[in-house]
Structure 1
Amino acid sequence: MGWKVTTVGQVTTDVRYGTSAKANDDGQYKYLRMNNLTYDGYLDLSDLKHIDVSDEELEKCVVRKGDVLFNRTNSTELVGKTALFDLDEEMVIAGYIIRVRLHDIVSPVFFTRFMNMEFMKKQLRSMAKGAVNQANINAQELKSIAMYVPPIELQNKFTDFVKQADKSKYAIDQFIKSLHVAKDATA
């Protein structure tokens, strides 16, 4: 296709680990942990903890809309889970997650979907270093991954398509849930 081939490190402006501070129930910030990233690239906010961090540490571990989250430590099957943070509020990430900020030549939606492609998941599993029940991919290894960079106009069209597909999926999920509620009410 004639697309530029580069590395993750060359398309990022910042690649940073989260905090190792302890979570609590009433901290100032919502705290994203590895269980908050789904295998298929979304956020699951159903089980959130909270955390307090100093203003100095906050900039190192805060996530903002458009950041991409990469699960660097997990089981071999789940290491490398990647999700787009597309919320309007700031949250803090745990140390098992890497925050990725991208240059404007790469769409965060495109990057997230690229990292969640099956061939990428296989590559991530093969490059992960194993320990007892855990596998790890560090920031330098993440930055070394080769990737294609289609023209940004094509990435933006892809992003629009993904957003529309996600809206449709959400509507279908809501409809199915309402059917289950209606069925349970008549049972």
Structure 2
Amino acid sequence: MGIAMVFKSTPWPLKMVSSQGQVQAGRQRSPHFVEGKMRCYLRVANVFDGFIDTSDIKQMPFSDKEYEIYKLAQGDILLNEGQSLELVGRPAIYAGKPASCCFQNTLVRFRPGPECDPKYALQLFQLCLQIGVFASIASQTTSIAHLGVKRFSRLKLPFPPKKEQQAIATILSTWDRAIEKAEAIIEAKERRKAGLMQRLLTGKVRFGEFVKSQARQKTKSYDLPEDWGYPTIGDIAVAVSQKNGTKTSLPVLSCTKHSGLVDSLAYFGKQVFSKDLSTYKVVPRGAFAYATNHIEEGSIGYQDLHDKALISPMYTVFKTSGVVHDGFLFKLLKTEWYRHIFQTRTSASVDRRGSLRWKEFAKIHIPLPSMEEQGKIAEVLDKAEQEIEEHRNQLTALKEQKKGLMQQLLTGKVRVKVSLL
């Protein structure tokens, strides 16, 4: 679909981006540049959708002449020049921090002219990213798409009079603030949940009805209540290794770092698993599965989606005995400190470099309160996760509302009265 078709209903004339401001590529990073003052610069890794991450700023030498060419001014918009197809052109506005900063050739700079409002331009570029305008004009080499300074500068987009631009940007910024607030709430609640998990799963905080002793026992990793067990995973679980053989009707699962096991086709939207499923492992309901070669990344899941499903032969499958509450164990194994334990054991494994097979995995110890206390801990953490999920759903709704509003306001389908300013 051409750009004119995307914005065919706009009441405003389509204008080239270059007519609304200066478009420029960033400075090449080359070993030939050896003289000059060390200055900070922004690159693709700093530019996210709508904001610039300043937590990891690099430096390289710039001559005085180069600095004058590539230094950023507040209100400049940076777009990813080279990225994956769905992220190429991702824009963010430079708010003046860090000061005296330049930009690299992996970015394209748009400096708005006197008739272009920077905040409107940012919203317009975000819409172009969302509806695939940038992807449609990008060139592709292997897995990287390139926006291209010339292609971007010649792109024709709707630019109403500046006062109307400002009115549109003001309305959309209201949704941005609501989205930022929702994201901050989720981040705070995730930190709270992480702290709660640390305290509950190690018995630093307990439910009074389960406490039999105030004394604590020391283990290699942490202190535990004296009345808790400290078995190995092999003491409370057994490996399961059933091949699919000629059966191919079972759903295929993949494992994600945050969500655990998911239906592969639904999650990825395409088939990423092998056509030959004969060597795939059967994962019964109530079983765990982890990526034998990537467990240190947190790739472990619990199968509660189907009576039976399949997973890659590169995974290890195991089931627990009756002394363990599966919800408790899953939450424990998904914590950051157990991911670190997996990483340490993987590095030390002699069975196969870069993997953690069942023999070594089974030697890992876990804290184990009574079944009743495990269930109570899992219940409290489930409620904390449900609360976070509700806020995530609210955030998704806000983003969808803003996306729909952008398509109405930035195309002129719905007009804004300038008197709103």
Q: Which residue in 2 is equivalent to 1:96?
A: 106
Asked whether the equivalents of residues 71 and 82 of structure 1 are also in contact (C-alpha less than 8 Å), the reply is: yes
The question of 1:43 aligning with 2:52 is answered yes
1:137 aligns with one of 133, 140, 147: 147
How much has 1:28 moved relative to structure 2? 3.9
How much has 1:108 moved relative to structure 2? 1.2
Q: Which residue in 2 is equivalent to 1:157?
A: 167
CA distance 1:32–1:64, change in 2 (3 Å):
same
Secondary structure of residue in 1 paired with 2:23: strand
Distance in 2 (alpha carbons) for counterparts of 1:30 and 1:164: 32
Q: Which residue in 2 is equivalent to 1:7?
A: 16
Gaps spanning 5+ residues in structure 2: where?
A: 1-9, 32-36, 201-421
Distance in 1 (alpha carbons) for counterparts of 2:68 and 2:19: 22
- Counterpart code for 2:24: R
Tell me how many residue pairs correspond in the alignment.
182
Asked whether the equivalents of residues 19 and 93 of structure 1 are also in contact (C-alpha less than 8 Å), the reply is: yes
How much has 1:11 moved relative to structure 2? 0.9
How much has 1:69 moved relative to structure 2? 0.8
- Counterpart code for 1:83: A
Q: TM-score, normalised by structure 2?
A: 0.40
The question of 1:113 aligning with 2:123 is answered yes
Secondary structure of residue in 1 paired with 2:157: strand
How much has 1:106 moved relative to structure 2? 1.4
Asked whether the equivalents of residues 114 and 120 of structure 1 are also in contact (C-alpha less than 8 Å), the reply is: no
Q: Structure 1 stretch 158-167 or stretch 98-107: which is displaced more?
A: 158-167
* Percent sequence identity over aligned pairs: 22
How much has 1:50 moved relative to structure 2? 1.9
The question of 1:21 aligning with 2:29 is answered yes
Asked whether the equivalents of residues 123 and 169 of structure 2 are also in contact (C-alpha less than 8 Å), the reply is: no
The question of 1:147 aligning with 2:157 is answered yes
Secondary structure of residue in 2 paired with 1:3: coil
Asked whether the equivalents of residues 105 and 152 of structure 1 are also in contact (C-alpha less than 8 Å), the reply is: yes
1:77 aligns with one of 86, 95, 106: 86
CA distance 1:82–1:119, change in 2 (3 Å):
closer
- Structure (1 or 2) with the greater strand fraction: 1
Asked whether the equivalents of residues 63 and 93 of structure 1 are also in contact (C-alpha less than 8 Å), the reply is: yes
Distance in 2 (alpha carbons) for counterparts of 1:177 and 1:126: 34
- Counterpart code for 1:122: G
Distance in 2 (alpha carbons) for counterparts of 1:121 and 1:54: 40
Q: TM-score, normalised by structure 1?
A: 0.83
Superposition pairs of residues 59-78 of structure 1, within 5 angstroms: 59-78=68-87
CA distance 1:177–1:77, change in 2 (3 Å):
closer
1:182 aligns with one of 192, 203, 209: 192
Indicate the structure (1 or 2) with the bigger Cα radius of gyration. Answer: 2
Distance in 2 (alpha carbons) for counterparts of 1:142 and 1:81: 12
Q: Which residue in 1 is equivalent to 2:283?
A: none
Distance in 1 (alpha carbons) for counterparts of 2:140 and 2:85: 7
Gaps spanning 5+ residues in structure 1: where?
A: none
The runs of at least 4 aligned residues of structure 1 exceeding 4 Å deviation read: 118-121
How much has 1:151 moved relative to structure 2? 2.1
Distance in 2 (alpha carbons) for counterparts of 1:134 and 1:153: 38
Distance in 2 (alpha carbons) for counterparts of 1:132 and 1:60: 31
- Counterpart code for 1:80: G
Larger relative contact order (Cα-Cα within 8 Å, sequence gap ≥ 6): 1
